[in-house]
Amino acid sequence: MQRIEEALAYIHGRPKAGKKDSFTRLEALMTALDHPEDHLPETIHITGTNGKGSVATMVTVVAQAAGLRVGTFTSPFMTDFRERFQINGELITPADLIFYTGQVQKATDQVEQASAGQLTPTEFEVVTAIMFLYFADQDLDLAVVEVGIGGRFDSTNILKTTKVAVITTVALDHQAMLGDTIAAIAGQKAGIIKPGAKTVIGPGVTAEAKEVIEAQAQEMGSPVLVAQVGPFQSALPGSFQADNTATAVLALKTWRPDLQDEVIQAGLNRTFLAGRFEQIQPKIYLDGAHNQAGIQALHQSIKENLVGPVTVIIGSLADKNVDLAFLELEQDPQITLALVTFDGVAGRPGLQKDQMNLANQDLIWYDSLDQAFSENLQQTVVITGSLYFISDVRRKLCQKKS
């Protein structure tokens, strides 16, 4: 493997999904790699329906402001795959990504051969393995690891170094995988709680979800702390970020009680996260509000920050439970709601017009993003939906600017 294109082709060519109720494939892969997950530094492990990326970013920048060396693993990426693996905000180098992907490829081949093809590590398991190898070699003070989906059977949950398990929010999302009730989803997310670690819950977690999380924490012998909005503010826009800020600060103080408030605020002042109510061009905003709770938060941000008519252009995946949130946007006289054709991602098609169930069936539909922009040249535009869609849009807009 000589070129980054080869590494990316290998990663993206792995199976997208596999049986999700065990770690058999991943444990076999870790054994073949001599268990790099055992050599990570102390870890803050973060899950939640919304807010994971914001909290991970805030924890990273504050720890960095405190002079620490921090590895951060997030998903999905916004414009460059290498964003998923960062050290103090710097993306993994192409050479390192090629090197560690090559190691994982060899180990994956061993696992598949030894199991006669019965164990075939998935794309996310391969990505997680690359992260473990990379972080284990980096002499880090802290690893900040964001869960992919859920928690209990997420690939990242073979971590042995968790000091703080963070649950930001619990809402309906990925029901086909995680369950169709708040309690069921909370149970999946509470699966990241480890014996000897502490648990931090975001301020907005409901009583129903909290009860499930606290029961799991008690079983694990993990003290539970609930964040409360306080004096700290981050540079991320949107009033909903107050909850994420409080969660990040409590996670940090739980991990390092001696962190000074001035250092915490200095780090928060430098927080930036692409695709979170981000003004990418004059009158054009991007926000990856990919589920009902996220769209409700976006609606609040629009009301607080934007004056005059706003066109909200949505590209969503078909498996998202977002109709009720769309209805809320549709009923706001400030907002014109439009949807744009989005092909979706492997195995997950985009939302189509005939799948919508709204009061107003005369919604604006665009065949392409270019058409959407050309018909809204004088208007403030907010583009939202799947993070995969936002990633595509941001890449295109950034290329046009350069």
Question: In this structure, what CATH number is given to the domain that contains residue 373?
Answer: 3.90.190.20
Distance CA 377, CA 206 (A): 41
pLDDT at 402 over 50: no
Residue 15: inside a domain, yes or no? yes
* Number of independent structural domains in the chain: 2
* Arithmetic mean of pLDDT, 64-86: 93
- Same-domain check for residues 58 and 170: yes
pLDDT at 319 over 60: no
- Same-domain check for residues 343 and 236: no
- Same-domain check for residues 289 and 242: no
- Same-domain check for residues 73 and 122: yes
pLDDT at 343 over 80: no
Residue 320: inside a domain, yes or no? yes
Residue 27: inside a domain, yes or no? yes
- Same-domain check for residues 191 and 247: yes
Residue 397: inside a domain, yes or no? yes
Angle at 204 between CA 202 and CA 207, to 5 degrees: 100
* Average pLDDT of the chain to the nearest whole number: 87
Residue 23: inside a domain, yes or no? yes
pLDDT at 246 over 60: yes
pLDDT at 215 over 50: yes
- Same-domain check for residues 380 and 339: yes
Question: Which domain covers residue 204, as residue numbers?
Answer: 4-268
Q: Last residue of some domain: 215, 238, 268?
A: 268
Residue 13: inside a domain, yes or no? yes
> Around 84, how many Cα atoms within 13 Å sit in the side-chain half-sphere?
20
pLDDT at 226 over 80: yes
The pLDDT, as a whole number, for residue 106 is 97
Pairing of strands 70-73, 85-87: antiparallel
Which amino acid would we find at residue 257? P
The pLDDT, as a whole number, for residue 180 is 61
Q: Which one has a higher pLDDT value, 75 or 33?
A: 33
* Arithmetic mean of pLDDT, 283-309: 85
Residue 54: inside a domain, yes or no? yes
By the 8 A CB rule, do 204 and 243 touch? yes
Residue 273: inside a domain, yes or no? no
By the 8 A CB rule, do 185 and 191 touch? no
- Same-domain check for residues 28 and 90: yes
Residue-wise pLDDT tens digits, 101-120: 999 999 999 999 999 989 99
Question: In this structure, what CATH number is given to the domain that contains residue 160?
Answer: 3.40.1190.10
Could you tell me where the DSSP H helices lie in 190-335?
207-220, 241-255, 261-268, 292-305, 323-330
The pLDDT, as a whole number, for residue 367 is 79
What DSSP line would sit under 44-112, residue for residue? EEEE-SS-HHHHHHHHHHHHHHTT--EEEE-SS-SS-GGGGEEETTEEPPHHHHHHHHHHHHHHHHHHH
- Does the pTM surpass 0.85? The reply is yes
